[in-house]
Structure 1
């Protein structure tokens, strides 16, 4: 682990030098990447510097143990410094865990009503509202690109874009089937119904990540229809991009949010590229799951991940255990997803640490 820490410290130094280069300021994208990486590495480097200082302090305190007049004071200092170095060790372990390279990307968010008819469509709108408020609280922006209305003011499908720093990290836990249990407004007998909505979270494809052959894409222009976002245009500027029409590989993307046909075309192609990238990732993950029979089912996008139980005012995330899996529904559905996301992130870190310990056979710096 010390070798990896040295590599990251060296990278931090290189990033700092690059940020001071006028050429970096001239390239907006390059400068943004550098500043983002600087922020990512700063907590780790700060801990390393504190560790170095505490090791030096500990060495000095141990030297004082031989002085009868200073022994008691030195013993207390040695104890405190040793405890702090152990804390730093643990914090560094967490910072060294593998990170998802997609975390920094913007997101294409897709909600599709599943079982439950009109109630599923209404639940899709509830989830969209929840995600909009959650995004706002996280300093992100959610913009609806396309939506298909269903009965009673619901939506059979919603496609949105979430932009901002670490958008994918904030939303990646939402992939899967969301189940709601409640009494629908149309239920005269007061019976509880169960409905589902499938949520897909796709990191936006970066330039060059997917080689999209435009000869395989048909572009249709039409007049906007339905609930395609706030202030939907009424001109013939909505765009439908159809990839490999009529084949098993067909993908259809509609964008009708912008008032510019050119902008809608660009956004539709971006969503299409993101879906193709996701298709490639899913195929790759499926191959890996086949090779690791012990992990079959984990991470499956069709897996039920969460239940929203209205009669009991409870949201249960089925990927968690114990008290961490249950949260107050009224808070979550109002956009308070952060505690659920934090619990999922902690659970992932704990599993990664266990895997790392199993591979390394444990071991600590022994700095003290």
Structure 2
């Protein structure tokens, strides 16, 4: 397949289309695009939704000229350079592949897609130099993560030894009253996939490749197909050991990462997004106070946000280079979650790279495991918006 990317040069206007016009598109994607349009040549030219009224309302509210209910028609008529996908996970594969084949780069909301097989199909539709498909993992892109990533990469804090990754949120029965929630086919997974993925992705971004995982999962409260809580033990390639907890059963909600290194402890505590003040570095006894003060200098405060990630993605698009959280870099968080489920449902330790074509967890995160797989086959849906 030959794909021709229509990336813009520094001075060319990047034409953007938004697919799915719900809360995440309105609350995060459109404001980020509007902010960047004030900085550089960029224009949102179209929005797509299966609900014609929703598409029209989104366009009216956001001054977007062209509403559509058909993705293929929009791609053919508007020929966008970038498509942002804000639909449920079950549609991400087909919509992303359609956009890539039309020559558009893609920025797709998490969870990226319901299986590694789907992700690999997306990557196969990319082309050298673009178009590429990047996943929304905005927690990587704040100034706090950038500063700590640099300290860890330079081994200024010593070797990472012990880590903890926590996404303990609360979702009541009203959350699961929506019929698509708590189901593998429509929500893509439980709190490991839909909630904890951001903190786990950030942990991987800070600590690097993982080597093995042992996990447990349970349905302790909600009558759903997926889990409502999971825990895991992870060994990293560096030798560091980590615990992970993902829950929707926790009234005192918090998102947290803690990394104990030889010379300092780094801790991030927030909920849905962080600023520099949410990061704390505690030096080990004997560390020079002046050096510790330098560690605590995070520089200008750039909160984790869609805006921060999208700014970098547009720079990559204009340069024709692969963006972060695409390809192998975007796949690794989904692979870790697939391995978490496989370990939890089989009781076995799972190693990185183990889940490949032919493994049931390659094509479905539930792996057809008894007691976890849906009782009826999951339909294959293809929708326009």
Shorter-chain TM-score category? under 0.3
TM-score by length of 1: 0.22
**TM-score normalised by L of structure 2:** 0.21
Asked which structure has the greater CA Rg, the reply is: 1
If asked which structure has higher relative contact order (CA below 8 Å, sep 6+), I would say: 2
